[in-house]
Amino acid sequence: PDLFQAPDYYLLDELLNDEHKLVRDSAREWVKREVSPIIEDAAQDAKFPMHLIKGLAEIGAFGPYIPEEYGGAGLDQISYGLIMQEIERGDSGVRSTASVQSSLVMYPIWKYGNEEQRKKYLPKLASGEFMGCFGLTEPDFGSNPGGMVTNFKDKGDHYLLNGAKMWISNAPFADIAVVWAKDESGRIHGLIVERGMEGFTTPETHNKWSLRASSTGELIFDNVKVPKENLLPNKSGLGAPLGCLDSARYGIAWGAIGAAMDCYDTALRYSKERIQFDKPIGATQLQQKKLAEMITEITKAQLLTWRLGVLRNEGKATSAQISMAKRNNVNMAIEIAREARQILGGMGITGEYSIMRHMMNLESVITYEGTHDIHLLITGMDVTGFAAFK
């Protein structure tokens, strides 16, 4: 069956060029062939399907916008967004792996690293030979990462790193971690920590009800000796990790549309087939209200995100504009998942359909990369000039 009918109510395809459509269609085809058949079991088993790494690299999901000279796909921001949309149509956890690898590991090495670091790591990250993770959040500092306590001291020929990060996507299997830590003066820097360095461990976080097909863990640094050449030299301060988040949050704004489309598509089909009181439930006003509102919200999110992509291509998108799109689109998707689940009645709670998995996944997506509240407060700060979270 043609699983993925992507609604395009306002003919957005007319705004895409041939490259965008080609990239999108190959990602869509790959997700349908490789992700959809196995993802429900992976989520039920709480295992990240490691065998997908190769395919993710092949569709350009690792570093879509990183220049080709470093192994990236050299695509624009719209293509990047469309790849994220298609992957998240399959599963938010698989999209998380791509987001982290691209925007939270490759992006800081590309933007804040030196040429040796770029050459050493980026091609292997693009091909999936190396997998990375991003350590910003700590047990006591989630929404407020500037308070972090993870720190490093200059020991002459190396740095000595101590502290802990939690809720880190890909941590249990990552080969390298981009870790944010304070120097002796309290300034934040990025360090590349490699698996195998003594004192560095990555215990897995179990018992999640959300993002079960993604592997989450801690990063623990117990007197880890980090070579000096592993410090990212070209940017420091909280703005450095926040700059990576801009890129990841933008991808999530697109990704959420994919999850929402899959829920809408599933619910629409079901509503036409399911007969109660001698007629399809889709012929009732109550179910039509749900479906009509879903397609309206998806269409608004598509337009918002497309425009944001154009602004990013022109180098004009602000962090606050990205926050608005991340917040709006993830909230849109989670509300659609909840309504779609109801349209399927009891069937909606089973793994026969993808909706409940999307719904549970989106509970993480609405929390990570800045919570729903924090993004509202960023918009509030942008329009009033007052930082209410301080």
Give catalytic residue positions: 369
Residue from 7, 123, 145, 280 that binds ligand TGC (CB under 6 A)?
145
> Is residue 246 close enough to count as binding ligand TGC by CB under 6 A?
yes
From the list ligand FAD, ligand TGC, none, partner contacted by residue 319 (C-beta under 5 to 8 A by kind): ligand TGC
Point out which residues bind ligand FAD (CB under 6 A).
100, 133-137, 142-143, 167-169, 211, 216, 364, 367-369, 371, 373-374, 389
Closer CB to ligand TGC, 99 or 266, in the complex: 99
From the list ligand FAD, ligand TGC, none, partner contacted by residue 216 (C-beta under 5 to 8 A by kind): ligand FAD
Kindly state the number of chain residues that form the binding site for ligand TGC, as judged by CB under 6 A.
Answer: 28
Tally the C-alpha atoms within 13 A of residue 90's C-alpha that lie toward its C-beta: 31
> Is residue 112 close enough to count as binding ligand TGC by CB under 6 A?
no
Q: Rounded CA gap, 200 and 180, in Å?
A: 14
- Helical H runs in the chain? 18-30, 36-45, 52-58, 77-90, 92-99, 107-112, 115-127, 239-273, 285-313, 319-343, 355-365, 372-384
From the list ligand TGC, ligand FAD, none, partner contacted by residue 9 (C-beta under 5 to 8 A by kind): none
Contact present, 78 and 117 (Cβ < 8 Å): no
Residue from 77, 79, 85, 99 that binds ligand TGC (CB under 6 A)?
99
From the list ligand TGC, ligand FAD, none, partner contacted by residue 135 (C-beta under 5 to 8 A by kind): ligand FAD
Q: How far is the CB of 137 from ligand FAD (least distance, A)?
A: 3
Residue entry with tokens 């703005």: 239
CA distances from 2 to 55, 282, 322, 326 (A): 21, 20, 32, 29
Closest Cα partner for 294 from 209, 364, 358, 214?
358
**Amino acid identity at 41:** D
Q: Rounded CA gap, 282 and 264, in Å?
A: 13
> Is residue 324 close enough to count as binding ligand TGC by CB under 6 A?
no
Closest Cα partner for 91 from 341, 269, 258?
258
Q: Rounded CA gap, 222 and 156, in Å?
A: 18
> Is residue 96 close enough to count as binding ligand TGC by CB under 6 A?
yes
Contact present, 187 and 146 (Cβ < 8 Å): no
Q: Rounded CA gap, 82 and 27, in Å?
A: 8
> Is residue 169 close enough to count as binding ligand TGC by CB under 6 A?
yes
Residue 277: CB atoms within 10 A of its CB come to 8
Token pair belonging to 33: 């062939």
Q: How far is the CB of 89 from ligand FAD (least distance, A)?
A: 19
Q: How far is the CB of 32 from ligand FAD (least distance, A)?
A: 25
> Is residue 248 close enough to count as binding ligand TGC by CB under 6 A?
yes
> Is residue 139 close enough to count as binding ligand TGC by CB under 6 A?
no
Cα angle 363-360-348, degrees, rounded to a multiple of 5: 140
Contact present, 314 and 76 (Cβ < 8 Å): no
Residue from 76, 218, 265, 369 that binds ligand TGC (CB under 6 A)?
369
By beta carbon distance, the residue nearest ligand FAD is 142
Q: Rounded CA gap, 342 and 95, in Å?
A: 25
From the list ligand TGC, ligand FAD, none, partner contacted by residue 239 (C-beta under 5 to 8 A by kind): ligand TGC
From the list ligand FAD, ligand TGC, none, partner contacted by residue 211 (C-beta under 5 to 8 A by kind): ligand FAD
Which listed range, 8-16, 66-74, 188-196, 368-376, lies at the site for ligand TGC (CB under 6 A)? 368-376
> Is residue 7 close enough to count as binding ligand TGC by CB under 6 A?
no
Token pair belonging to 261: 């489309």
Closer CB to ligand FAD, 6 or 188, in the complex: 188
Closer CB to ligand TGC, 77 or 137, in the complex: 137
Closer CB to ligand FAD, 251 or 282, in the complex: 251
Q: Rounded CA gap, 193 and 160, in Å?
A: 11
From the list ligand TGC, ligand FAD, none, partner contacted by residue 367 (C-beta under 5 to 8 A by kind): ligand FAD
Where do contacts with ligand TGC occur on this chain (CB under 6 A)? Answer: 96, 99-100, 134, 136-137, 143-146, 169, 237-239, 242-243, 245-246, 248, 319, 368-370, 374, 378, 387, 389-390
